[in-house]
Amino acid sequence: MPDRYMAPEVYRRESYGKSVDVFSFALIVHEMFQGGPSHRAEAAVQVADKRAYEDSRPPLSSQVYPEAIKM
């Protein structure tokens, strides 16, 4: 079953490098600032599909993130 933290390259079964770890870590940091996962109402497979095939990414709210993080 796909995981909402899976990088698009992994989900699409393409070759990948260390950047997939950065992607997953960034999603975890995002959730720490947001207080939980974005797209909570969607199943993990729907989130993974959108990220892999529609280039969907969680929004960066200007009220939650310090300016240094958004750069």
pLDDT by residue, tens only, the chain of 71 residues: 558 788 999 999 999 999 999 988 988 888 887 888 777 788 888 888 888 899 887 766 666 666 776 66
What's the residue count for the chain? 71
pLDDT value at position 15? 95
pLDDT value at position 64? 65
Residue 65 per-residue DSSP state: S
Nearest to 9 by CA among 59, 45, 42, 55: 55
CA distance 61 to 46: 22
* Strand ranges (E), 1-71: none
